[in-house]
Structure 1
Amino acid sequence: MTAEIITIGDEILIGQIVDTNSAFIATELNKIGISVFQITSIQDEKTHILKALEEASERAEIILLTGGLGPTKDDITKYTFCEYFDDQLQLNEEVLAHIEELFAKYKTTPISDLNREQAMVPSKARVLHNRYGTAPGMWIEKEGKVFISMPGVPYEMKGLMEYEVIPGLQKKFHRPFIYHKTILTRGLGESAIANRLVGWEEKLPKHLKFAYLPNFGSVRLRISGKGNNEEQLISDVENQAEELYEILGDIISEEQEEDEKIAVEINKLLTSDNKFLAVAESCTGGALAAEFTTHPGASKCFKGGMVCYATQTKIDLLQVNKELIEKHSVVSAEVAEAMAKNARKLFKSDYALSTTGNAGPTKGDSDAEVGTVYIGLATPEKVYSQKFFLGNHRDQVVKKAVYKAYEMILREITA
């Protein structure tokens, strides 16, 4: 069972937005045993859409589109659907009522004819209720193939996938089982791990696949399988995983869900122990706090944070001793430790992380080389810091610093 995803919109092709819809859709399809054969991004232009639909129908049983369903004239997907399926638009009263209800409840501007026109849908389409927006999804079948069109707005698309598309596909198709096992390793790079797994990979059964998913400071190893016998498939994957543990036991951290991040791991551990974290950031500029609070449940274990970017702010608000900065430099182990210690006290938390460094591209209030970062950690028992050299690319320095900081506290709370 294969699917193809088509994203429609010039804004994707010119780099104005990043296509996150395809990743989400592919993940959700994979969970129910549907493999994605291809992902394509195309212009919001009729002949291009028609060609993409025709080509996709030759490769896949399920074709999912996002984009081009808005109220403006440049949104032409449903009109193109009519041409492709030899159909015409008709008013759907339920959709119209939903649009009018949304405007009455949530909009301050009056409803327009353009908005009402979104209730016009191809007569052959089964309407998919969009509880979060005015543009309905559409499900049309042709010659045994399913064509599904959804808005490009991510939260609207996700709602349609959860409540309409996935249940509909599960009901219609008999699907194979797909099973993944993801193991997290730390402390060794991708190539070094591959060298240790040469013999194991050569003997891997043909119906299983193996992938390396590297990130800052860690590599996820994923074993995947697909088949009709669920029990046998799970057994095959688990047997291979046991061999991985024998080979890589010294660097395996844990088994991990596909989309779980290190901040989520820390969140779970702190919450289970009823402990709290705070942060004091300089060179990371709030990225530590942002990464942590992106994930649900952060309020259960995160007290807060301070971005004390300027040297004077470290002195005035975080109460880092001015003489300490003058003696050791603002980018130093001593300042990082003082920042962490004072943040822990200020926020009344169990743990506190701090970052101070030079992310570049030029030197700031310190003579430290670009890429130099000190990360401090204050715990109930001690305060310490580590020095890192994280390269000369500003964005990567910040991302690496965030990961290194979380790696430090994860080691501390799992020791």
Structure 2
Amino acid sequence: MKVYLITIGDEILIGQIVDTNSAWMGQQLNLNGAHITGIMTVSDEAESIVQALEQGLRFADVILMTGGLGPTKDDVTKKVLAEFTGGRLSFHEPTYRRIERFFKQLGRQPTEAHRLQSYMPDNATLLTNPMGTAPGMWFEVDGKVIVSMPGVPYEMKALMQKEVLPRLKAQYPLERIAHRTLLTAGEGESRIAERIADLEDALPPHIKLAYLPNLGRVRLRLSSRGSQSDQYQDELEQWANRFKERVEDLLFGEEEDRLEAVVGQMLKARGLWLSTAESCTGGYLSHLITSIPGSSAYFLGGIVAYSNIVKQEKLGVRTATLETDGAVSEATVREMVAGTLQHFGGDIAVAVSGIAGPGGGTPEKPVGTIWLAVGDHNMTEAYLLKAGKDREKNIEYTGAHALNFIRRFLKKHYPASLANG
């Protein structure tokens, strides 16, 4: 089943709101074996809606639309759909009575606009909206289906789950689809692609690999489509295991795992306490760590040592180090780790110092030069991260690399076999 998604609303086009409806519908449809052929957002104008409908019918079996079903004059979707499908609007008494009951529960009376809202296309099958006043509409046109739903996300979701998806499953044969997602950190998309090129080339036609990069991380999604048997699921699992073995050193989790949660689990399992010293990230790394419920079981705290004075007075970074090597240097982050361990008395510390930008760079240390260090009371490891020129991205990129550095340090020096519990 091929599906085309249309969202209607000037508020989406001008960036006043974000279209979350398409993302959610796409996810649900994919899980049910549907193939999304396109997504389009159009204005609240009849001509734009008609053009979107014509395009959707060229590329798909089903069009799912959201928006434009309210009681105000700018909501023209019903009128356009009635004309487009060869129907006409007529007053629908059950819809009006339902609106009356809805407002009676609120102690109010419906307006004339709500009465006008009760005019429905006479060639549509109306779908009960349990969360609002506007029903969904199901049209059949030359063997294809057009469904119109309200743009309010919780109303659309209720209609999709209770009405639309069950009807689509009954009318169209849906392929079986399964996904396995591997989560990696520490290498870019192109280097991972080189490492697994032979495995990717050997994949059978019904299994596809997608690279989904993010700052400091890459998701590898294996998808199997087209089988009604459990055999393909087993095969997908076997291929996922082969890819996992190939990227084992980069792999930090699967599916919806978060790197900060994985690091927290590793620290907790080993009975270790972590503390942070941050310069260029300004507390962002500590925010990531403490965004995980239960992080108080392994995180002591952090110091935002943004100025050299704080680096010296709170972390014990030597004046000679700052004068000779600079605040952004391997020597400085190593001393920041030592000072953090002394200040908090924990087991593991991480330190970052860099030039996030957009200014402050030099020919020797351009914007995006960032030093990281992780250590305990016996050893400290450091490395240079070369990021870009965008300040916000550099901070996020550094946060991801710092978390992965902690993960690698724990894996190397505190093996799981030695973990407490």
- TM bucket, shorter chain: 0.7 to 0.9
Correspondence 1:47 to 2:47: yes
- 2:368 alignment partner AA: G
Q: For structure 1, which runs of at least 5 residues remain unmatched after alignment?
A: 105-109
Aligned to 1:94: 98
> Which structure: larger Rg?
2
- Aligned ranges for residues 332-343 of structure 1 at < 5 Å? 332-333=332-333, 336-337=336-337, 340-341=340-341
Cα deviations by residue, 1:65-96 (Å, 9 ceiling, x for unpaired)? 23334565434334433433424264444355
**Structure 2 contact 280–306 (Cα < 8 Å) conserved:** no
Q: Offset of 1:401 from its aligned partner?
A: 0.8
Structure 2 length-normalised TM: 0.74
- 2:406 alignment partner AA: I
Per the alignment, in what secondary structure is the counterpart of residue 148 of structure 1? strand
2:397 to 379, 384, 400: 400
Distance of aligned partners of 1:374 and 1:55 in 2 relative to their CA distance in 1, 3 Å threshold: same
Aligned to 1:142: 140
- 1:140 alignment partner AA: W
Q: Offset of 1:202 from its aligned partner?
A: 3.6
Distance of aligned partners of 1:300 and 1:84 in 2 relative to their CA distance in 1, 3 Å threshold: farther
Q: Aligned equivalents of 2:272 and 2:170: distance in 1?
A: 44
Aligned to 2:419: none
Cα deviations by residue, 1:102-128 (Å, 9 ceiling, x for unpaired)? x67xxxxx9984885696463534335
Which stretch has the larger CA shift, 18-27 or 37-46? Answer: 18-27
Q: Offset of 1:147 from its aligned partner?
A: 2.9
- 2:190 alignment partner AA: S
- Aligned ranges for residues 19-34 of structure 1 at < 5 Å? 19-34=19-34
Aligned to 1:175: 174
Q: Offset of 1:268 from its aligned partner?
A: 5.2
- Aligned ranges for residues 190-269 of structure 1 at < 5 Å? 190-245=189-244, 248-251=246-249, 253=251, 256-257=254-255, 259-266=256-263, 269=266
Per the alignment, in what secondary structure is the counterpart of residue 4 of structure 1? strand
**Structure 1 contact 324–334 (Cα < 8 Å) conserved:** no
- 2:254 alignment partner AA: Q
- RMSD (Å), alpha carbons: 4.3
Aligned to 2:3: 3
Runs of 4+ off more than 6 Å: 271-278, 303-307, 349-352, 378-384
**Structure 1 contact 279–306 (Cα < 8 Å) conserved:** yes
- Aligned ranges for residues 34-73 of structure 1 at < 5 Å? 34-69=34-69, 72-73=72-73
Aligned to 1:107: none
- 1:36 alignment partner AA: I
Distance of aligned partners of 1:73 and 1:319 in 2 relative to their CA distance in 1, 3 Å threshold: farther
- 1:62 alignment partner AA: V
Q: Aligned equivalents of 2:341 and 2:112: distance in 1?
A: 58
Q: For structure 2, which runs of at least 5 residues remain unmatched after alignment?
A: 416-421
- 2:38 alignment partner AA: Q
Structure 1 length-normalised TM: 0.74
Per the alignment, in what secondary structure is the counterpart of residue 176 of structure 1? coil
Cα deviations by residue, 1:30-65 (Å, 9 ceiling, x for unpaired)? 111111111122222111112212331332222222
| Count of residue correspondences | 395
**Structure 1 contact 341–383 (Cα < 8 Å) conserved:** no
**Structure 2 contact 66–151 (Cα < 8 Å) conserved:** yes
Distance of aligned partners of 1:113 and 1:377 in 2 relative to their CA distance in 1, 3 Å threshold: farther
Per the alignment, in what secondary structure is the counterpart of residue 320 of structure 1? helix
